[in-house]
Amino acid sequence: MSSHSCDVLVGFNPPVPAGMVDRVANWAPDAVPSVALPAASVVLLRDSENGLQTYVLHRHGQMPFAPSTVVFPGGRVDPADHDSPDPIRRCAIRETAEETGVVLTDSDLHPWAHWITPEIEPRRYDTWFFVAAMLEGLQAADISGETDHAEWLAPAEALAAERSGVIKMLPPTLSILIELAGLDRVAEVITHAAGRRIEAVLPRLEQTSDGWQFRYPQQRASSS
């Protein structure tokens, strides 16, 4: 049975950041959204004695986008990436090398999710997320210049830190880690990625009796 990238969104309800609440409250009905720039991010994975781990970057507070948050390596597509037949994959490989020193190939990338920044945000990205096994003999290093530090964490460990308020995450990172927390080994992740159906997720904000909340696509039936 293949999985759907939107399955995890059922019951998924992270809080809306205060700054985003202010922006949506002041959003004019005739406002024109900023263009979502194409981007790519790579979830580097490795097996450890204690199970699956992923490499995360702790962005410093001066970053114009997602300051002080935990993210996966990645960034927007550069003009040079368009020299490749697949600029998104080329971007994923280039950004991973620039931010971690890990050099991947196209065959190392396995699509996992596709998220688009909400329309009310001034900086918007149309981002593909790939999972990739850490190649034997390579070491990841914090060389991006955009982070306070980087580390290998078990998905469950990262989620516990987020719940306790030690770290912050954007919804795409959070949702990916929730899925990975249910898998034990890199090979299992790659197997899930092979049959995965991926749909772009564009979060929308809705005011409810409990305040502003994100709204996502509903879960697809398992038989579809």
3-state secondary structure of 126: strand
pLDDT recorded at residue 218: 57
Beta 124-133 vs 110-116: how paired, if at all?
antiparallel
219: buried, middle or exposed (CB in 10 Å: 19+, 13-18, 0-12)?
Answer: middle
Range list of H helices, 164-199: 171-180, 186-194
| pLDDT at residue 224 is higher than 50 | no
The answer on pLDDT for 147 being more than 90 is no
- Give the residue extent of every domain in the chain: 7-25+35-215
Could you tell me the pLDDT band of residue 182, with boundaries at 50, 70 and 90?
Answer: very high
Tens digit of pLDDT for each residue in 37-87?
Answer: 999 999 999 999 989 999 999 875 454 455 468 999 999 999 999 999 999
User: pLDDT per residue over 17-42, tens digit each?
Assistant: 888 888 888 888 899 999 999 999 99
Q: If pLDDT is split at 50, 70 and 90, which confidence band does 2 have? A: low
Give the pLDDT confidence score for residue 115 in this predicted structure: 96
Considering only residues 62 and 135, tell me which one the structure prediction assigns the higher pLDDT: 135
Question: Is the CATH number of domain 7-25+35-215 3.90.79.10?
Answer: yes
Res 135: pLDDT: 87
Structure tokens that stand for 183 in this block: 């898998």
